């Protein structure tokens, strides 16, 4: 299935201290959705774990097998607007920590796919792994509301291999729920990385970044040639952008990097090359 023209909406929420606060903010912003085919929300939208004790994260955690109020609200959001929804949640892990997980929900409110963040933010003096357990698989791109969607979470924007593998597996739109901590040059890094992942893989990249006192905001959508289509700024906001299929077709026709890639030389398993447009 080739990408069709579609509208992607980014809900740039502010960080919340509790799931109840996050649910109230989600309800407020859900009223701003107009015609999005796909809605993407930030990492940590359910609750900011930075200063929260692990016990609070465990108490707020939910599972797809037994959805709580957060996952049910996401399902309702998808059904209400007939939009696919990509959002994160905390999920209990067997070792007493939680997983930093994401779910893709269909426009009928059904779970299409899920993912657990594999590369944790143990950098710049922060140790996400103290509370978060890592996942153990790369996300497999899925068809959802007119696009083949790939998925990585926040810090994984720095792991170029994850984006490449998903592009080789057919991803057309790479969605990136993020909670990008503020700091010197951090906003520039977020945008440089988003543009690089888009250009080097000829995919749309949609970063939904958390806003608030310790986070950058600055959600961005980039076309497959690396051209920014939207910058949401630093404050909580909702933005919709039209993703036009000709941009993907033109980028892959002029820069057929995915079909030219010498997988045999760099240790990537073979298989049918990504088709040229």
Tally of CB atoms within 10 A around 137 = 8
Contact 8, 174 (CB under 8 A): no
| Residue 125 domain flag | yes
Indicate if the pLDDT at residue 276 is higher than 90.
Answer: no
State how far Cα 265 lies from the chain centre.
Answer: 30
Indicate if the pLDDT at residue 277 is higher than 50.
Answer: no
Q: Can you give the pLDDT at residue 271?
A: 53
**What is the percent of the chain where pLDDT is above 70?**
97
Q: For 127-140, how does the pLDDT look when each residue is reduced to its tens digit (9 = 90+)?
A: 999 999 999 999 99
Lowest mean pLDDT among 53-62, 141-150, 257-266: 257-266
| Residue 128 domain flag | yes
Tally of CB atoms within 10 A around 259 = 12
User: In the chain, how many domains are there?
Assistant: 1
| Residue 129 domain flag | yes
Strands 122-123 and 111-116: unpaired
- Residues 193-218 have a mean pLDDT of 97
Indicate if the pLDDT at residue 2 is higher than 80.
Answer: no
Q: Can you give the pLDDT at residue 263?
A: 84
Which among 147, 141, 178 is positioned nearest to 40, based on CA atoms?
178
Q: Can you give the pLDDT at residue 270?
A: 64
Q: Can you give the pLDDT at residue 269?
A: 73
Q: For residue 177, what are the domain limits?
A: 6-266
| Residue 275 domain flag | no
- The DSSP H or E segment spanning 8 is strand 6-12
| Residue 113 domain flag | yes
| Residue 105 domain flag | yes
List the CATH number of the domain containing 218: 3.60.110.10
- The DSSP H or E segment spanning 221 is strand 220-222
* Burial 208-247, CB ≥16 within 10 A → b, else e: bbbbbeebbbbbbbbbbbbeebbebebebbbbbbebbbeb
- Residues 195-214 have a mean pLDDT of 97
Q: For 96-114, how does the pLDDT look when each residue is reduced to its tens digit (9 = 90+)?
A: 999 999 999 999 999 999 9
- Residues 119-124 have a mean pLDDT of 97
Q: Can you give the pLDDT at residue 1?
A: 52
Q: Can you give the pLDDT at residue 136?
A: 96
- Residues 221-241 have a mean pLDDT of 98
| Residue 272 domain flag | no
| Residue 276 domain flag | no
Q: Can you give the pLDDT at residue 264?
A: 83
Q: Can you give the pLDDT at residue 274?
A: 52
């Amino acid at each position: 299935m080739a990408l069709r023209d579609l509208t992607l909406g980014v809900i740039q929420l502010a960080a919340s201290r509790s799931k109840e606060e996050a649910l109230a903010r989600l309800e407020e912003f859900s009223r701003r959705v107009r015609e999005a085919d796909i809605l993407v929300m930030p990492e940590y939208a359910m609750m900011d774990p930075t200063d929260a004790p692990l016990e609070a994260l465990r108490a707020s955690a939910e599972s797809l097998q037994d959805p709580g109020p957060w996952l049910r609200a996401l399902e309702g959001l998808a059904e209400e607007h007939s939009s696919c929804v990509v959002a994160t949640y905390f999920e209990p892990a067997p070792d007493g920590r939680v997983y930093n997980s994401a779910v893709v929900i269909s426009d009928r409110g059904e779970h299409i796919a899920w993912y657990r963040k594999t590369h944790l933010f143990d950098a710049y003096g922060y140790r996400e792994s103290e509370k978060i357990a890592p996942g153990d698989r790369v996300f497999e791109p899925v068809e959802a509301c007119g696009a083949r969607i790939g998925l990585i979470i926040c810090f994984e924007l720095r792991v170029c291999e994850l984006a490449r593998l998903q592009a080789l597996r057919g991803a057309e739109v790479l969605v990136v729920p993020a909670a990008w901590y503020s700091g010197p040059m951090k906003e520039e890094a977020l945008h440089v990385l988003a543009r690089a992942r888009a250009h080097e893989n000829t995919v749309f990249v949609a970063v939904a970044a958390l806003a608030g006192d310790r986070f950058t905001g600055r959600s961005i959508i980039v076309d497959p040639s690396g051209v920014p289509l939207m910058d949401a700024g630093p404050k909580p906001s909702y933005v919709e952008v039209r993703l036009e299929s000709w941009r993907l077709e033109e980028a892959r026709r002029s820069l057929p990097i995915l079909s030219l890639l010498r997988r045999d030389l760099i240790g990537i398993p073979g298989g049918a090359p990504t088709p040229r447009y």
